[in-house]
Structure 1
């Protein structure tokens, strides 16, 4: 059957991918770029999951990858205007188009090395296109083939984005895990 990627509409599946094992833990829930910094810092424990549930009520906050009935991957993708990338001083705007951003790609342990990241990025592109986005951007590290720590690999690599037909659109002043981040973009028109 293969990996299927579809819009993230099931809260429990989102929780499986980005939520904590212990409900009171303060994990990202993929909110750090999705909500303003002050709000992100103020949310603790179960309030983080409730914020995701609230965002989900307004539409899918990303896409999920499934292997049969098992959720195995997540990619956060949404209009840039609704993210902190809209005002981020380290990541430039190429133009004034209402582009979408993809900023987090996660694959569950035990499922890595099977091309799921590629499927997630392709699914994010398809979701943005179906939602009317004129273009989609990502902000991966330019690691030039060097190993990226798994906890910091969520932004993807330049090579991953290049394989998905994104092109280098701009350099940034953002650095993650010692690697510069670049702005990669794919036109969807």
Structure 2
């Protein structure tokens, strides 16, 4: 059985973050910046600038904005988790802004917004482990609520690239409750954390 360890994404783990992000899907080109800037800015930004923004973020944030999963010592997966207000595109996404019951600038509401699992490590439960660690990280960092925007694969056919949002069944198994369904396959879920 593989040894799985999950650790904060920090500046000294930047090479590991890059390895985790570049193993499939859009992680290589996105550099986990999709939620961090408005769409117009994201579309104009070259990959090198996205990479540098991520590196700067890992160097400057006092609380890690993401976690890295290691399988037998190899960086194998990634999850972004942090205050929802810092992920500016969330507040600009109509389907989310219109349906979330909490103020978009409430710093105690965190969001799990992006997963990447390298192809060779899929199917061993890394997304579940990353989500569990993300909730623990949010709780330890003072979050009151963790929100997410997964795909309900039971009702919507989805490309592998779209699964960066996460899958509804994984969130439900972790205790998240559905709070809105802006589209049949798009769900907003939340987990209230004990104080």
User: 1:171 touches 1:181 (CA, 8 Å); kept in 2?
Assistant: yes
Per-residue deviation at 1:145?
6.7
Q: TM-score, normalised by structure 1?
A: 0.86
TM superposition shift of 1:74: 0.4
Counting only pairs closer than 5 Å after superposition, residues 124-143 of structure 1 correspond to structure 2 as: 124-143=134-153
Match for 1:94 among 89, 97, 101? 101
**CA-to-aligned-CA distance 1:35-84 (integer Å, 9 cap, x gap):** 22233122103111111111112222211101232111101111110111
Task: Show structure 1 runs of 5+ residues with no match.
Answer: 174-178
| Distance in 1, Cα, partners of 2:23 & 2:191 | 32
Q: Distance in 1 between matches of 2:109 and 2:179?
A: 13
Counterpart for residue 81 of structure 1: 85
Q: Distance in 2 between matches of 1:180 and 1:145?
A: 6
Superposition TM-score, scaled by structure 2 size: 0.84
C-alpha distance in 2 between matches for 1:181 and 1:168: 10
Q: Is the 8 A contact 1:76 1:103 kept in 2?
A: yes
Once the two structures are TM-superposed, the CA of residue 128 in structure 1 deviates from its matched residue by 0.8
Report the alpha carbon displacement of residue 87 of structure 1 after superposing the two structures with TM: 2.9
How far apart in 2 are the matches of 1:153 and 1:79?
21
Q: What corresponds to 1:163 in structure 2?
A: 173
User: Counterparts of 2:134 and 2:84 in 1: how far apart (Å)?
Assistant: 13
Q: Which runs of 4+ in 1 moved over 4 A?
A: none
More helix by share: 2
Could you tell me which runs of 5 or more consecutive residues in structure 2 were left unpaired when the two chains were aligned: none
CA-atom RMSD in angstroms: 2.1
Task: Note the alpha carbon deviations across 1:90-128, whole angstroms, 9 max, x for none.
Answer: 112212343111111111111111111100011111111
1:176 corresponds to: none
Count of residues in Structure 1 that have an aligned counterpart in Structure 2: 180
Match of 1:17 in 2: 20
Partner of residue 4, structure 1 = 5
